[in-house]
Amino acid sequence: MPRGRAKGYDDQREQILAHAATLFAQRGYPGTSMNEVALACGLSKATLYHYYKDKYAILVSIAEGHVQRLHALVAEVSAERLAAEAHLRELINRIVEEYAGAQHAHRVLTEDVRFLDEPDRARILGKEREVVAGFAKAVAALRPDLKKARLAKPLTMLLFGMINWMFTWMKPQGALDHASIAPIVADLFLGGLPAVHLPRKSAVTVD
C-alpha cells in the first residue's frame, strides 16, 4: 500500500510557495535558485524537492494558484446576485482584499509569467482573461450602453490599472490600508473625483 502524505504536507507546500513568491518578487524568477528557496523555507534542498520537482513547478503553482483564487472570488460574488452597483463594488472590495495578502504572488503573475512554457502560459492567462471578463460583465450590467460601444472591457482594464499596481506604492504599515482603499477605488471608478469619500485614515505614504 502506498504511503500517504504526512500531516501538514499541504501547509508546507503553501509555505514554500509564499517564501518563493517573496524571493521571485524581490529578485526575479531567473535570479532565484532552489538553494535560496530552500534556505528561506528552512528546509534542505532534498526536502524541498520532495514538495516541488523544480523551480519551474513552483513558478507555475504561484501564478496559477493566484489567478485561480481571483477567478473563484468572481464566481462567488456573482453567485450572490447583488444589484448591479453593489455587485461591482463587492468585486472591487474582494479583489483588493485578495491582493492585500498576495502582493508577491501578484507581482510574480504580472512580471514572471513570460517565463512559463506556452501551454502553461496560455492556460493561466486564459483564466486571467476570464477574471477580466467577469468584471467587464459587471461594468456592462451597470451601464449596458458601454457594451454596445465596446467600452466595457477598456474601462475594466482602466479599473485594473488602479488596482493591479498598488503593491508598487502602498506600504504594509502605511496610513491607508487595503480595506480603506477599496471603497475609494470604487467611488473613483463609479463617480469620478467628486464622488470619493474620505476614509477614517486620510493619508497614504508613498515613495
Q: Please write the tens of the pLDDT for every residue from 31-66.
A: 999 999 999 999 999 999 999 999 999 999 999 999
pLDDT greater than 60 at residue 196:
yes
- Work out the average pLDDT over 116-125: 97
59-195: CATH number: 1.10.357.10
Taking the domains of the chain in order of start, what are their residue ranges?
A: 59-195
pLDDT score recorded for residue 195: 77
Answer for the pair 92, 186: CB distance below 8 angstroms, yes or no: yes
pLDDT score recorded for residue 36: 97
Of 4, 13, 22, the residue nearest 49 (C-alpha):
13
Grid cell listed for 16: 514554500
Grid cell listed for 160: 485594473
**Digit-coded pLDDT (tens) for 8-37:** 888 999 999 999 999 999 999 999 999 999
